[in-house]
């Protein structure tokens, strides 16, 4: 009977006996070609020894990730080939373990000899094991206990493994591994519950979305509604506008000076509201122009202004900001045209067009923004792109709520834009070469693509962004962006990863191109914007 005729959800495959596993992988690959829904879980020990702790002439396996990587490359990253990780008594470094969170780990097999003994004689786990198990819970990895019971549970026990598990019913024989299971259950129970926002985002985790085209397309009401719920973003904008108003109008002149503020890309009015609340907070007088090209949003704007009684303060302009002739110059220009990669929704081009109606000493909010990238292992994202079986999807940047990924090195800055920009030889084309060094204790790693982020300075010290090391807490308007590689690239310890990114501008579109040149060259992705672009 073939595997495909069995109705099991998965089949556990034994671990390869040695690093050279081509014959074994070929047999598995043949089976994969005929499988419909069943997963094959390859059993791999979680093992990585330090280079200097193994005899140079030894054939011992140093890094089990290498074993897995060799196997899955032979099987061409097949989406039905997944991992069962054996958790042993000693664990590799945090960086080494981190690689596995970008891989398709379906089950963790925790061996009884991995457990320590607490003061009461019950099994428990080291802090590093606890952190690993909790990480697996966060990634919906199943837990399996394996091995013989190695702890002599005190006979007087009718309770928990550490005074925290429900009491068992009297006279019911305990399973010999029950105390181990209780402890793992305890680790699960003490995890922090997901926040409301995290629960909302669950359905978006590792799901590829096409980026918005706000210039070519008018946004839908549901999109506006989602963004408008992000109170943190608008609090930051309000803080920035407050500071700008205080700088613009000194104390004692509040009643004499009216600040002209233009919201370019007003949507359904959240920035208008933030500006008026900032005026109220600072006691400054304001005249607001709300410029919006989407006729559906303009209808909502009119209703809002009537409802709030803002008719004497707010003027609605139904027009593309690049085409509008303003009746007067603005003191403050406010926009929220930022995409996940900062400039990928054409904020530079839009604000260049709007800059002509900003006073020479006027303030732009945001005043600058920078994009960032970092190399990631993202097996699921790569397989999702590969499933389309065409070039276009490998040359498209996607918006993704990253979850099952391994971030292999800290992110680095790519492109920066400043506003207003009065330089005479201004160009929005950009090029950047970046060198990433993956920490030596990580071991080898595979790069499926690059995660992209942004950080924006709204005004002075008020910023917002999604770059992981300085992201704005509790803000959900932006997910990261993902630039895939057509062929994943394996990077050895200590070998630098050299990456090139271009921002290209044509008469009707803006696009990105990217490639890797070290440790081996990749093709230029998205040459001439043939697969993915943002329309002007």
pLDDT at 207 > cutoff 80: yes
Which domain does 501 fall in, by range?
Answer: 370-535
The answer as to whether 360 is a domain residue is: no
* Predicted local distance difference test score (pLDDT) of residue 21: 87
Residue 63 marked in a binding site: no
Same domain? For 164 and 266 the reply is: no
Tokens for 422, please give them.
């009065």
**Stretch 204-232: mean pLDDT:** 83
Percent of the chain exceeding pLDDT 70 equals 93
pLDDT at 453 > cutoff 90: yes
What DSSP string describes 331-387? Answer: EEEEE---BTTBSTT-HHHHHHHHGGGEEEEEEEES-EEEEEEEEEE-HHHHHHHHT
On the 0-12 / 13-18 / 19+ scale of CB atoms within 10 A, 315 is: middle
The answer as to whether 490 is a domain residue is: yes
Residue 233 marked in a binding site: yes
Rounded to the nearest 10 degrees, the angle between the axes of helix 231-248 and helix 270-282 is 50
Residue-averaged pLDDT of the chain: 91
Which of 155-169, 206-220, 227-241, 468-482 is least confident? 155-169
Residue 183 marked in a binding site: no
The answer as to whether 436 is a domain residue is: yes
* Predicted local distance difference test score (pLDDT) of residue 213: 75
Q: Which residue has the higher pLDDT, 60 or 113?
A: 113
Percent of the chain exceeding pLDDT 90 equals 79
* Predicted local distance difference test score (pLDDT) of residue 173: 73
* Predicted local distance difference test score (pLDDT) of residue 51: 60
Catalytic residues: 336, 345
pLDDT at 280 > cutoff 60: yes
Same domain? For 456 and 506 the reply is: yes
pLDDT at 326 > cutoff 90: yes
pTM of the model: 0.92
* Predicted local distance difference test score (pLDDT) of residue 155: 56
The answer as to whether 210 is a domain residue is: no
CATH of the domain at 162: 3.20.20.150
pLDDT at 332 > cutoff 70: yes
* Predicted local distance difference test score (pLDDT) of residue 55: 43
Same domain? For 186 and 236 the reply is: no
**Stretch 357-370: mean pLDDT:** 97
Which of 67-71, 353-357, 455-459 is least confident? 353-357
pLDDT at 74 > cutoff 70: yes
Domain boundary among 195, 212, 243: 195
Same domain? For 17 and 124 the reply is: yes
Residue 292 marked in a binding site: yes
CATH of the domain at 290: 3.40.50.150
pLDDT at 168 > cutoff 90: no
* Predicted local distance difference test score (pLDDT) of residue 171: 45
Q: What is the pLDDT of residues 99-139, one digit of tens each?
A: 999 999 999 999 999 999 998 889 999 999 999 999 999 99
Same domain? For 284 and 331 the reply is: yes
Residue 234 marked in a binding site: yes
Same domain? For 225 and 181 the reply is: no
Q: Which residues contact 433 (CB under 8 A, 6 or more apart)?
A: 498, 499, 500
Reported as a pLDDT band with limits 50, 70 and 90, residue 2 is low
Q: Which residue has the higher pLDDT, 211 or 528?
A: 528
Same domain? For 96 and 233 the reply is: no
Which of 68-72, 212-216, 267-271, 397-401 is least confident? 212-216
Q: What is the pLDDT of residues 244-275, one digit of tens each?
A: 999 999 999 999 999 999 999 999 999 999 99
Same domain? For 191 and 226 the reply is: no
The answer, yes or no, to whether the previous bond of 366 is cis (omega within 30 of 0) is: yes
DSSP E strands: which ranges in 29-120?
39-45, 81-87, 105-111, 116-117
Same domain? For 153 and 266 the reply is: no
Same domain? For 382 and 445 the reply is: yes
The whole-angstrom separation of Cα 272 and Cα 334 is 9
Number of independent structural domains in the chain: 3
The H or E element containing residue 427 is none
- Comparing CA positions, the residue from 9, 8, 136, 28 lying closest to residue 72 is 28
**Stretch 217-236: mean pLDDT:** 85
Same domain? For 321 and 395 the reply is: no
Long-range contacts of 457-461 (CB under 8 A, 24+ apart): 457/366, 457/367, 457/368, 457/369, 458/236, 458/237, 458/239, 458/240, 458/365, 458/366, 458/367, 459/240, 459/241, 459/243, 459/244, 459/363, 459/365, 459/366, 459/367, 460/240, 460/243
pLDDT at 531 > cutoff 50: yes
- Comparing CA positions, the residue from 382, 339, 497, 505 lying closest to residue 513 is 505
């Amino acid at each position: 009977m073939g595997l495909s005729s069995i109705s099991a959800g998965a089949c556990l495959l034994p671990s390869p006996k040695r690093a050279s596993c081509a014959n074994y992988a070929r047999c598995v690959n043949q089976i994969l070609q005929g499988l419909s829904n069943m997963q094959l879980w390859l059993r791999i020990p979680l093992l990585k020894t330090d280079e200097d702790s193994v005899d140079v002439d030894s054939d011992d396996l140093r890094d089990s990730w290498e074993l897995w990587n060799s196997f899955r490359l032979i099987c061409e990253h097949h989406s039905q080939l997944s991992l069962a990780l054996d958790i042993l008594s000693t664990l590799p470094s945090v960086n080494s373990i981190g690689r596995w969170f970008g891989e398709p780990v379906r089950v963790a097999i925790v061996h009884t000899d991995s457990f320590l003994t607490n003061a009461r004689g019950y099994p428990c786990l080291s802090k590093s094991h606890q952190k690993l198990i909790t990480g697996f819970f966060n990634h919906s990895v199943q837990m399996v206990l394996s091995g013989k019971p190695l702890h002599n549970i005190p006979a007087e026990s009718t309770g928990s493994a550490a005074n925290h598990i429900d009491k068992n019913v009297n006279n019911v024989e305990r399973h010999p591994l029950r105390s181990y299971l209780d402890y793992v259950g305890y680790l699960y129970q003490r995890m922090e519950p997901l926040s409301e926002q995290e629960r909302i985002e669950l359905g978006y985790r590792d799901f590829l979305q096409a980026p918005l085209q706000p210039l070519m397309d008018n946004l839908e009401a549901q999109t506006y509604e989602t963004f408008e719920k992000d109170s943190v973003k608008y609090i930051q904008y309000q803080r920035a506008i407050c500071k700008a108003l205080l700088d613009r109008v000194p104390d004692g002149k509040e009643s004499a000076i009216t600040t002209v503020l233009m919201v370019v890309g007003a949507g359904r009015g959240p920035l208008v509201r933030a500006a008026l609340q900032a005026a109220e907070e600072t006691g400054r007088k304001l005249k607001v122009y709300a410029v919006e090209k989407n006729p559906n949003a303009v209808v909502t704007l009119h209703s809002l202004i009537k409802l709030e009684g803002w008719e004497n303060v707010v003027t609605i302009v139904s027009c593309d900001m690049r085409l509008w002739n303003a009746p007067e110059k603005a003191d403050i220009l406010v926009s929220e045209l930022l995409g996940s990669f900062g400039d990928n929704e054409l904020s530079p081009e839009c604000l260049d067009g709007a800059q002509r109606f900003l006073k020479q000493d006027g303030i732009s909010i945001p005043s600058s923004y920078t994009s960032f990238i970092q190399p990631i292992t993202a097996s699921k994202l790569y397989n999702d792109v590969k499933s389309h079986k065409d070039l276009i999807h490998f040359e498209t940047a996607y918006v993704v709520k990253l979850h099952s990924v391994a971030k292999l090195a800290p992110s680095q800055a790519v492109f920066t834009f400043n506003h207003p920009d009065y330089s005479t030889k201004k160009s929005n084309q950009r090029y950047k070469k970046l060198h990433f060094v993956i920490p030596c204790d990580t071991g080898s790693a595979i790069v499926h693509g690059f995660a992209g982020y942004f950080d924006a300075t709204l005004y002075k010290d008020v910023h917002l962004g999604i770059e992981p090391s300085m992201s704005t807490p509790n803000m959900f308007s932006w997910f990261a962006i993902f630039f895939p590689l057509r062929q994943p690239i394996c990077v050895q310890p200590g070998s630098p990863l050299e990456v090139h990114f271009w921002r290209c501008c044509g008469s009707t579109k803006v696009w990105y191109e990217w490639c890797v040149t070290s440790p081996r060259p990749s093709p230029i992705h998205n040459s001439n914007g043939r697969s993915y672009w943002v329309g002007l």
